[in-house]
Structure 1
Amino acid sequence: MATFNYSLSMPKRYFKKLIPNPEKLKSNKTLAILGSKIYDQDLWHLNRRSVAKAFFVGLFWACIPIPFQMLAAVFCAVPFKANIPLSISLVWVTNPLTMPFVFYGNYLVGTLFVGSHTDKAFQMSIEWIWDKIDHIWLPLYVGSITTGFIIGALSYIAILVLWRLHVIKRWKLRRPPKKK
C-alpha cells in the first residue's frame, strides 16, 4: 500500500520541482512589468483551485486564434489567481499540429450560431483561408469563444471533482482497517 500512496503523489512532486523559487521570481526584472501581484503565492503553487482555474484559463486561450496566447493566459491568470505555469503550458494544446483541426472545429461551432457565408468547398490550405478570411472570421471567433468557454468550464469542474475524489481516496487509504 505504501508504494500506491507514493505513486499518487508523484506528479505533484515532479511539478513542484519545476515551479520556480519565489526569491528567483522577485529577482527577475522582466516579471516586474506585470506588477507586484505576479508574486502572489497562489499563482505559483499547486492547489485544487489554482489548478482548476489554470485549466479554465489555459484551455480557453488555447481555443482562441490569436498570436501570443501565452501572454493572454498570463494576464488572465493573475486576476483569477490561476497557476501561471500550468496556464501557459495548457495553451500549447493548440500547437502547429493540432491548430488546423481545433480551429476548423471552432469554425463549425461558430457556423451554428452565425451561419456560414462561404461555399462548401473547404480546402485545408493557407491560400483558401486568406481568400475567405472576410467570410470566416466571425464564425471562427464566435465558435472559438464558445468552444473555449465550454471546454474551460468543463475542465474546471472536472479538475475540482477529480481532485476531491483523489483526496477522499487518499483519506480512505490512511484510515486504519476496522477491527472485527
Structure 2
Amino acid sequence: MASRPMTAWDKMAAWSRRNLPTREAMERSRMLRPVAHRVLAPELWRFTRRSVPRGVALGMVAGILFPVGQIAIAALIALPFRANVPVAALVTFITNPLTTPFILFAAYQIGAWLLRSNAAAVAQPVAEAATGWLQWLRDAGPNLILGLLVITVVSALVGYGAAALGWRLWIARKWKTRHERD
C-alpha cells in the first residue's frame, strides 16, 4: 500500500504532537503542584469535539492577557470549563517574542480608535525618563487594556470556531476515507 503525501493537516498534527506538553511535564511544574491532582485528571487530557475548541479559546485568553506563566494559567482556567489542558497550553504559544510587539501595537491602535484617543503615546517612553514613562503608561494604559480585551475576545471566538470547524472537517475526512476503503 503506497503512502500518501503529508497534507497541511498532517504536518500541523505532527507539530502539535511534538510540542504538546506531556502529563509528566505538567506534573513536575512547581506552579501546578498544588492543583496537579485536578489538572492531571484524565478527562481533561482527552481530545473530544467539545474540549478541544474550549482549550483553544482558553489558550488564546491566557496567551494574550497574561504576560507571565501562560501555560500554568491556561491549565488552571481549563479546569472549570472542562477544556483540553494540553491544547490550552499549546495555544498560549500564539504570543512569543516575535508576535507580542505586533499584538501590543494593534491593541493600542484598537483601543485608541474605540476610545477616540489621538494621543501620540507610542514613541514617548523611549525618549523620556522614568517619570515620563509613568505618564505614558497613564495615558496609553486604557487604550492598551481595551485593545487587549477586544483582541482577546475576538481571537478566542475565532479560535473556538476554527477548532470546532477543523474538528468537523477532520472527522468528515476520516469517515470519507473509511467509506472509500469499504
CA deviation string 1:36-81 (max 9, x = no partner): 3222223223233222111101112222254333332222111112
Q: Is the 8 A contact 2:39 2:76 kept in 1?
A: no
Q: 1: CA distance between counterparts of 2:67 and 2:29?
A: 26
Identity %: 23
- Distance apart, 1:126 and its partner CA: 5.2
Q: Is the 8 A contact 1:5 1:170 kept in 2?
A: no
Q: Is the 8 A contact 1:55 1:87 kept in 2?
A: yes
Q: 2: CA distance between counterparts of 1:45 and 1:127?
A: 51
Q: Is the 8 A contact 2:21 2:90 kept in 1?
A: no
Instruction: Find out whether 1:41 has 2:42 as its counterpart.
Output: yes
Question: What is the aligned partner in structure 1 of residue 163 from structure 2?
Answer: 159
Q: 1: CA distance between counterparts of 2:66 and 2:126?
A: 14
Instruction: Find out whether 1:134 has 2:135 as its counterpart.
Output: no
AA aligned opposite 1:84:
V
Which structure 2 residues correspond to residues 1-180 of structure 1 after superposition, within 5 A?
3-4=3-4, 11=13, 15=17, 20=22, 24=24, 30=30, 31-34=32-35, 36-64=37-65, 66-116=67-117, 118-119=119-120, 122-123=122-123, 130=133, 131-176=135-180
Root mean square deviation, CA, Å: 3.5
Aligned length: 175
- Distance apart, 1:133 and its partner CA: 0.6
Q: Is the 8 A contact 1:42 1:50 kept in 2?
A: no
Q: 2: CA distance between counterparts of 1:33 and 1:175?
A: 47
CA deviation string 1:75-114 (max 9, x = no partner): 2111112222222222222112221111110111112322
Q: 2: CA distance between counterparts of 1:66 and 1:25?
A: 21
Q: 1: CA distance between counterparts of 2:19 and 2:70?
A: 25
Q: TM-score scaled to structure 2, two decimals? A: 0.75
Instruction: In structure 2, list runs of 5 or more residues that go unmatched.
Output: none
Instruction: In structure 1, list runs of 5 or more residues that go unmatched.
Output: none
More deviation in 61-70 or 95-104? 61-70
Q: TM-score scaled to structure 1, two decimals? A: 0.76
Secondary structure in structure 2 of the residue aligned to 1:155 = helix
Q: Is the 8 A contact 2:19 2:90 kept in 1?
A: no
AA aligned opposite 1:67:
V
Secondary structure in structure 1 of the residue aligned to 2:65 = coil
- Distance apart, 1:19 and its partner CA: 5.5
